[in-house]
Structure 1
Amino acid sequence: MTGKTIKWHKIIRSAKLGNLTDQDIDFLNAYGLKYDVDFRSPEEKSQAPDRIPEQTKYLFIPVFSTDETQNSKQTDRLQRKMENDPTSGRQQMQRAYQDIITNPHSQKAYRKFFDVLLENDHPDSTLLFHCTAGKDRTGMGAVFFLSALGVNEDTIKADYLLTNKVTKPALDDLVKTLKLKNASSAFIQSMRDLQSVQISFYNTAMDQIQKVSGDMPNYLHEYLSLSDSDIRDLQHIYLE
């Protein structure tokens, strides 16, 4: 992708949209938001339905049938484990990233995502994609998308890790609240891992890709069913 950049006003990576104000919706309407791709589970969707402009096409494409990233809430079993094991949050995230790569349901979801990306070919239309926190299911969606465009891996990693800068204030507030509630240090560490992104999570996904297909281009072709023509069309739509 030497010398090229992604076009402005074509794609937005986001967290959940259930708390948008009327002013936010007016902004997205003026911005040209045409597609809203929702990667959340059915339960997450029902808890906080998206608020979007009337003309925006809503596409519900759950990556998991339940929230494996545990960003919406933690199961009782995981919470009990987190009280005593500071690695439990990290282990949960690593399992989720493995599933993103190897679960056929997840693969089909990301293929549908690419179908919408290819449909977003009008010069004045914008696509937004999100999950609950906008960091794992959405973060890997961005990794797949940027890889298909031919973006170098250092830039892809930097984009993936950008989440931590954006979410730091909220995570700091969460940690303060947990300390006030006398949460264990193990629990707090696990919550930090659940509510952030780490290069080890990214590497877990890349290791799985290498195991199943050798490298990212092969994975995009073999498991997400992207053809050479699809790749060319994506680059035409999103690069300048």
Structure 2
Amino acid sequence: MEPTLMNIHHGYNFRDLGGYRTMSGQHLAAHRLVRSGGLDRLSDRDVAFLHEYGVRVDVDFRTRDERQEKPDRLPDSARYVFDPVFSEDKTQVSKTWAEEQQMFSQDPQAGYHNMLRTYRDLALSESAQKAYRQFFDLALGNSDDTLLFHCSAGKDRTGMAAVYVLSALGVDQATIRKDYLATNTFIQPALSEVLEQAKAEGGNANMMQGLTDIWTVYPEYLDTALAAINETYGDMQQYLHEALQLTNRQIQTLRELYLA
């Protein structure tokens, strides 16, 4: 299965995880797990689409400041759950222009190195593990509806949530990596918008590189998180058990709920 976009007109990186094949030969059911970027720009038509699609739970991995600045637009039928992965936006995609200038204008590698540090935290930090555990609790309690999970760009905090849930459901690592890297295709409109704004406001080449690295997913980012998991816990299954405290029974329940 190729990762494909949902029919959302005023948002980016909206994808149903349905259709992915597991190593046991089952498939993820459609209309059950949706990953996405921000919901603040959605039109009335998009909101109605999400209602008809079945979205009844919205898990927001962003910080309190991100949420206040750009609140989600949701159908009345959807329950909003604030589940911050970090207390501040370590992915930097919501930084102000002044903050970006200070970070990126002097060092073309600043964005890249920031993301490597962030991905280690996405695996090992207490706040991230707590947030992802709550995400799994919500998934375990979602028997029939569509659960949507998102951050600002739908690529880092959301990307690792997808890595964890697809791993728990028994999807192979090559497919999980492909889903993760698909963001680079779907995030291009947002990246172009960010770069055009930076250029118009006098951003230099270092700035452009830093912003590109912040808004791109590289294999090294995911590899950093996976290496931290393997070094600390041994492998992904042990991470799910020890860091996210999923029992074998809960993993089996997830597969009963989301696989067909």
- TM-score, length-scaled by structure 2: 0.88
In 1, Cα distance between the equivalents of 2:186 and 2:80?
25
CA displacement at 1:34 relative to structure 2:
1.1
Question: What amino acid sits opposite 1:230 in the alignment?
Answer: Q
One of 91, 106, 124 as aligned partner of 1:102 = 124
In 1, Cα distance between the equivalents of 2:170 and 2:117?
27
1:207 aligns with 2:227: yes
Any idea what the Cα deviations from partners look like across 1:180-233, whole Å, max 9, x if unmatched? 444221111110001111111000101110111011000000000000001101
Q: Secondary structure at the match of 1:84?
A: coil
Equivalent position of 2:208 in the other structure: 188
In 1, Cα distance between the equivalents of 2:128 and 2:162?
14
One of 97, 101, 107 as aligned partner of 1:79 = 101
1:166 aligns with 2:155: no
1:69 aligns with 2:56: no
Aligned residues: 238
Equivalent position of 1:57 in the other structure: 79
Equivalent position of 1:135 in the other structure: 155
Residues 32-41 or 182-191, more deviating: 182-191
CA displacement at 1:100 relative to structure 2:
1.1
- Give the alignment of 1:1-150 within 5 angstroms: 1-74=23-96, 76=98, 79-122=101-144, 125-150=145-170
CA displacement at 1:80 relative to structure 2:
2.1
Q: Are the aligned partners of 2:111 and 2:213 in contact in 1 as well (CA < 8 Å)?
A: yes
CA displacement at 1:78 relative to structure 2:
5.6
Q: Secondary structure at the match of 2:121?
A: helix
- TM-score, length-scaled by structure 1: 0.95
Q: Secondary structure at the match of 2:206?
A: helix
Structure 1 gaps of 5+ residues are none
CA displacement at 1:29 relative to structure 2:
1.1
The alpha-carbon distance between structure 1 residues 81 and 43, as it changes in their structure 2 partners (threshold 3 A), is closer
Structure 2 gaps of 5+ residues are 1-22
State the structure with bigger RCO (CA 8 A, min sep 6), 1 or 2.
1
One of 214, 230, 233 as aligned partner of 2:250 = 230
Normalized per residue, the structure richer in helix is 1
The alpha-carbon distance between structure 1 residues 70 and 81, as it changes in their structure 2 partners (threshold 3 A), is closer
In 1, Cα distance between the equivalents of 2:173 and 2:239?
15
Q: Are the aligned partners of 1:171 and 1:192 in contact in 2 as well (CA < 8 Å)?
A: yes
Equivalent position of 2:6 in the other structure: none
Off by >4 Å, runs of 4+ in structure 1: 74-78
Question: What amino acid sits opposite 1:42 in the alignment?
Answer: R
In 1, Cα distance between the equivalents of 2:192 and 2:97?
22
The alpha-carbon distance between structure 1 residues 32 and 205, as it changes in their structure 2 partners (threshold 3 A), is same
In 2, Cα distance between the equivalents of 1:44 and 1:182?
25
